[in-house]
Chains A and B, each alone.
Chain A
Amino acid sequence: MNNYNTMAQPWSMVAPTNNRLPVDPDHPFYYKHWPANWEFGYVEVKKGKKTESKPVFFPGVHMERVVPGVNGVSQIRGELGDPSSRLGKLQSQGFIILDPGKFDYLRVYPAKYGGKRHAPKFESFRVLAGRVISEFDRVAWDNWRIKLIADGVINTPDPHFLELIIMAQNGVAERLIPSQHLPEIRKKLDAEYKRIEDMKIAMSAVKNNALQYYESLVTKIKPIEDQHVD
C-alpha cells in the first residue's frame, strides 16, 4: 500500500514573498564625464575631532542609458542594446567613460514583468504603502566623484570652466541687488556672496595645486567603504 504521507507538505499561512521591486524595468547605463562640466558644492572633512565644510568643484558625472533605438544604440536582443558606436563617438568627442565593470557603481534589481531595474549603488529603495521610495546617498556620491579625481581617472578642472561658473553665479547675486532693502532678500544676497567667495577659494586651490587639493580631501573624508553605499 502506498504511503502518501511522505508527499505531504506543511501548510503555511505566510504568503510567498515577492522579491521584486514594484517598478518598471529600465535599461543599463554608464556614467560619463565631459571635461567642461563641473558642479560646485561642499564636502565635509575631518578637522581634529570636528568636521568642517570645504568648498570644492565636483566633476559633472552624468548617466546615459543604453536604450536600443536611441542615440545610435543598436539592438542585441530585446531591450539589450549595443552602445559601442555611441561610446566610440563620445570618446572621440573627449568624454571620459566610466565602465561599470571597472568602477562598480551599477546595481541591478529584479523588477516588474520579469525585467530588471538598473540603479547606481548610491541609490537605495524602500517600499512603503505600495509606493517605491528611493533615496540617494549624496555624500557617498560626492566623495566618490572626488576620489575619481584623486585617482587620476578624471583630470582636475581647468580654471577657465570654473570662472564661467563663478560668472554665472555673480549674475544670480546681481539680480538680487535692487531688492536688497528687503531683509529676506538681503539674507539671500549674503548667502550668494558667501557662495561666490567659496567658489573662488575652491578655484584658487585648483589653480595652486589641484591634484594635491583633491588628494588632501580624499584623505580627510570618511573612507568610501565605511559609507552606506551597498
Chain B
Amino acid sequence: MPITNNSLLTDLRMANMVSQEIRLFLADSTSLRNTDFMDFVGSINGKGSDTIRVRQAGLDGYAGGSWTAFTGATEADAVSDTALVDAAWDVTVKRRALQYSISDLASMTGTGSGDLDPFRIAESIARSYDGMFASLTASAFAGFTDVSGVSGAKITIDTFYSAVQKLQNKSGKSVPGPYVCVLHPKGFNELQDSARQEDGIVGFTPATYETIKLRGDEYKGSFLGVDIYVSSYVTNDGTNNDQGIWGPGALGFATGAPSIVGAAQVMEMDQVAIEFSRDASKAVSTVTGHAYLGISIIDQDRGVMFQSEK
C-alpha cells in the first residue's frame, strides 16, 4: 500500500498551510498627492492656526474677470486708479487616525517577516494614507462650481469633449494645462465604450506598464491630452457620480506633523506619525497612526465637476 498524502493527514501532514505572502484585497490606493495636480500649500506647524488661507490677487495682469490692460489715454489725460481684485481660499487641516491592536499570541504565531505583527500593521497604516488622500480629494472636487456632463446619462465622447472645452474656455479664459480627469470606474468604462465607436483620428492612449509604474495603479491613459485616473472614492449624490477635471492650481492641500511626547515608541512614516502603546496586563500592543490633512479648492476657475449617471 503506497504512502499517500491523505494517509499522512493530520499527524504528519497538515490539511492546509498558510501562504508565506499575505496578498492584498482589491483596493484603490492611488492618490494624486505627488503630482502637479495637487498644490502643497504648506504645513500648519507653528502657524498659529489649523487653517491656511491661500491668497489670490489680480497682479501681473491676472485680474479676477479679465486681463488687466493698459488704457489708451491721450498724452495729457489723467488716468484713474485700477482696483485690485483679490480672493482667498481656506485649507483647514483636520486630524485623522487609524488604529489596530494585536495580542502577543497573534503576533508570535506569525510565520516570519511580512506576517501580521505590529510593524507590518504600522506599514499598513502608512500605506492607507493615500486612500484617505484620494477620498478627501474626491470630496473636494465635487465642490467645483462649474458642472459639465449630463445628469443621469452615461459619459460619452461628446460629454468628455464638453468638459475639456469648458476648461479651455472658462468665460473667455483658458485654464493652463496639463489637465487631469478623475473618473469613477463605471464612468471610465462608459468613456472607453464611446471611444471605441469613434472612427476619427483622435485616439485614446492607454496606460502602459511604464506609465502605470510612474503614475500609479489607477492611471488609465490619456485622451485629448487629459490624464485619466479612476477612483472608487468618487462621491455621488444618489443619482450622479461627481467626478472632476482640472488643471494645476485648482486643488491644494495642507498638512501638519505632530510632535508626540510620552509615547513608548513613535515612527514617522511618510505623512503618518505611528505611535505604539501597550497594555501589559492584556499582552496587547496598539498601533495608532495620526495624520493631519486638509484639501480644498484653491481656485474655482481651474476646475469643472463632471457628472454622469451613477
Contact = CB atoms under 8 A, between A and B. Distances in A.
A158 interface: no
A67 B136 CA distance: 8
A170 B193 CA distance: 22
B142 interface: yes
A172 B158 contact: yes
Contact of A70 (B95, B238, B295): B295
A155 B90 CA distance: 29
B51 A74 contact: yes
B158 A71 contact: no
Contacts of A69: 92-94, 96, 136, 293-295
B140 A39 contact: no
Contact of A62 (B147, B152, B294): B147
Contact of A71 (B238, B296, B310): B296
A120 B238 contact: yes
B208 interface: no
A207 B158 CA distance: 28
Interface string B228-240: 0000000101110
A178 B251 CA distance: 40
Nearest to B254: A69
B89 interface: yes
A29 B242 CA distance: 14
B90 A37 contact: no
A168 interface: yes
B101 interface: no
Contacts of B142: 62-65
B305 interface: yes
A122 interface: yes
A141 B240 CA distance: 13
Nearest to A73: B92
B238 A136 contact: yes
A72 B91 contact: yes
Interface in B143-184: 143, 145-147, 150-152, 158, 161-162
A168 B162 contact: yes
Given A122-B238, A168-B162, A70 B296 contact: yes
B50 interface: yes
Interface residues of B, number: 37
Interface string A145-175: 0000000000000000000000010011001
Interface string B80-103: 000000000111111110000000
A120 B237 contact: yes
Nearest to A29: B237
A116 B63 CA distance: 44
Interface string A104-124: 000000000000000110110
A19 interface: no
A181 to B, nearest CB: 14
Contact of B89 (A29, A60, A62, A72): A72
Contacts of A75: 92, 94-95
Contact of B139 (A70, A72, A93): A70
A36 B237 CA distance: 19
B147 A37 contact: yes
Given A75-B94, A171-B158, A60 B151 contact: yes
A69 B242 CA distance: 19
Given A85-B90, A122-B238, A172-B158, A39 B139 contact: no
Contacts of A60: 147, 151
Report the 5 A-B pairs with minimum CB-CB distance, sorted nearest first: A69-B94, A72-B90, A63-B237, A123-B238, A136-B239
Interface of B: 50-51, 89-96, 136, 139-140, 142-143, 145-147, 150-152, 158, 161-162, 235, 237-239, 242, 293-297, 300, 305, 310
